[in-house]
């Protein structure tokens, strides 16, 4: 198939392709082009769509991809499984979001040494508290995306009261033909991360 000129690609060409040739093309994409199963499936799906067009609008009955066994896409698994769940690591991450500097105060020890106080850089104490809360919120959003696969529209409608930490599920509003409330479950790993940022 690699030696075919574009000028030779007409209706008779598409009518002549057989399932065995499509299978050979699939092997070429995997062995020679070194594509993943997901990429191969996309290309074969494009061919299948082309044949559906021919069948519908070009009076062609032939379709070598009818009932074709597509390669299975690689399972990515739960993205959250790639995250370390060490609680101290999460706390260190949160602490690093607040830059700290030692500033000399107008106070001295009994020995006359100046007293230094650790304060946030360029922000007030109130702003530091708000920033830490925002970091916790942002981290919770990220791990929710990774751990549950929620859509943005579903996530923005979640309140803390919608999360059941005893039975490990979140009540979300699903929009489709009909709006519905559904439970989205999460595992103990995600619950442990929530606990580390004091959500539980």
Copy the structure tokens of residue 16.
């002549």
Distance CA 194, CA 188 (A): 10
Sheet holding 180-185, edge to edge: 163-164, 169-174, 180-185
Given this model, what pLDDT does residue 96 score?
56
For residue range 116-154, list pLDDT tens digits in order.
665 555 556 666 666 666 777 777 788 787 778 888 888
Distance CA 32, CA 175 (A): 43
**pTM of the predicted structure, to 2 decimals:** 0.40
**pLDDT band at residue 19, thresholds of 50, 70 and 90?**
very high
The answer, yes or no, to whether residue 85 has pLDDT greater than 50, is no
Are the beta carbons of 164 and 170 closer than 8 angstroms?
yes
Q: Is the dihedral of CA 130, 132, 135, 140 positive or negative?
A: negative
Give Cβ neighbours of residue 150 (< 8 Å, ≥ 6 apart): 144, 158, 170, 172, 184
**pLDDT band at residue 23, thresholds of 50, 70 and 90?**
very high
Q: Is 181 left (phi over 0), alpha (psi -120 to 50) or beta?
A: beta
Of residues 95 and 133, the one with the higher pLDDT is 133
Q: Which helix or strand (DSSP H or E) is residue 52 part of? A: helix 37-57
**pLDDT band at residue 86, thresholds of 50, 70 and 90?**
very low
Given this model, what pLDDT does residue 91 score?
57
Given this model, what pLDDT does residue 179 score?
74
Copy the structure tokens of residue 4.
């075919």
């Amino acid at each position: 198939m690699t030696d075919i000129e574009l000028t030779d690609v007409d209706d008779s060409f598409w009518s002549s392709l057989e399932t065995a040739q499509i299978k050979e093309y699939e092997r070429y994409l995997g062995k020679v082009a070194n594509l993943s199963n997901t990429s191969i499936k996309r290309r074969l799906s494009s061919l299948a769509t082309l044949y559906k067009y021919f069948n519908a609008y070009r009076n062609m009955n032939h379709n070598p991809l009818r009932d074709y066994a597509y390669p299975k896409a690689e399972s990515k698994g739960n993205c959250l499984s790639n995250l370390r769940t060490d609680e101290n690591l999460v706390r260190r991450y949160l602490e690093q979001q607040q830059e700290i500097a030692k500033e000399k105060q107008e106070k001295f020890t009994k020995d006359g040494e100046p007293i230094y106080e650790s304060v946030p850089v360029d922000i007030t104490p109130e702003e530091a508290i708000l920033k830490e809360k925002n970091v916790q919120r942002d981290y919770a959003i990220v791990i929710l995306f990774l751990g549950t696969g929620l859509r943005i529209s579903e996530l923005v409608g979640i309140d803390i009261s919608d999360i059941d930490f005893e039975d490990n599920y979140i009540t979300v509003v699903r929009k489709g033909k009909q709006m519905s409330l559904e439970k989205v479950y999460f595992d103990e790993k995600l619950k442990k991360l929530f606990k580390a940022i004091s959500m539980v």
